[in-house]
Amino acid sequence: MFEDFSLETVDVGPGAFRVRHGGTGPAVLLLHGHPRTHMTWGKVADLLSPYLTIVCPDLPGFGRSYLPLDTPDSRNSSKRAKAGALVELMLRLGHENVAVAGHDRGSLAAFRMAMDYPERVQKLIIADGIPVIEHLERADWKFARDWYHWFFFAQPEKPERAILAAPLAWYDKLSTALMGKQTYDDLVDIIHDPAAIHGMIEDYRAGIRIDHLHDREDRDAGRRVTCPMLCPWSLRDDMEQIYGDPVAVWRNWADDVRGFGIDSGHHVAEENPGALSQAIQEFLEHG
């Protein structure tokens, strides 16, 4: 994976990103979810790199990118803080105007980039995600049953202790067959690192503590995503079962949004990279 890509450490102020980039053409930033790193995008990156310049960082607090400093309200792990750092990363790499695609937790940072930096983000792709405030306001017993980790991870200290006691038992769905050995080995190393686990958990704490407040402020002020937006979701995941049509949710936040289901489980970049890369390429080329 990542054939002819460069692997770099790029300092942006709050800290340094681990980032791979390569390809040719207009730039697209690919943001991973939990508990993955940028490596989850490897198959998609190889499929897209003949047509697009691909930038794949570890999110702040994930993988080997910088660990945001702790605060009581988790503001340094907020999606607003991460969006600012990601914009600076792209500028350091020479990309002023970009498309952004995010999956899972990465979709929250991608959404915040589009909201806070509309002059930088030309197109937005959100895979298996909706705004934090939509998650929380729509939470019901199905959400509590199947996505309970959102609320467990919001608690102090206990989530880190639980995960680090047996990382491979907590993340028991990892497999070389699905991910590839290189991605698997990288992630197994990450989930045994207390700093990396803490950073990932702080991402969830920020969602409960501050991200939803930023969403509410935008909604109350009537701010919306102004660029074209694509919203694919995994048909063998539970996004549609819990929230209904994700496109209908996103129409509360964006004027130009379309979407469709992809035959995949949750980790679509690994499970169906062909369909996802085709969706990204067609959307970026033809909108």
pLDDT tens profile 218-244: 999 999 999 999 999 999 999 998 999
Indicate whether 55 belongs to any domain: yes
- pLDDT (0 to 100) of residue 245: 94
- What CATH number is given to the structural domain containing 191? 3.40.50.1820
Indicate whether 34 belongs to any domain: yes
Indicate whether 76 belongs to any domain: yes
Domain of 31 in residue numbering reads as: 6-286
pLDDT tens profile 262-284: 999 999 999 999 999 999 999 99
pLDDT tens profile 116-136: 999 999 999 999 999 999 999
Indicate whether 1 belongs to any domain: no
SS (H, E, C) the chain: CCCCCEEEEEECCCCEEEEEEEECCCEEEEECCCCCCHHHHHHHHHHHCCCCEEEEECCCCCCCCCCCCCCCCCHHHCHHHHHHHHHHHHHHCCCCCEEEEEECHHHHHHHHHHHHCCCCEEEEEEECCCCHHHHHHCCCHHHHHHCCHHHHHCCCCHHHHHHHHCHHHHCCCCCHHHHCHHHHHHHHHHHCCHHHHHHHHHHHHHHHHHHHHHHHHHHHHCCCECCCEEEEEECCCCHHHHHCCHHHHHCCCECCEEEEEECCCCCHHHHCHHHHHHHHHHHHHHC
- pLDDT (0 to 100) of residue 183: 94
Q: Which residues are catalytic?
A: 104, 266
Indicate whether 278 belongs to any domain: yes
Based on the structure, what is the number of domains in the chain?
1
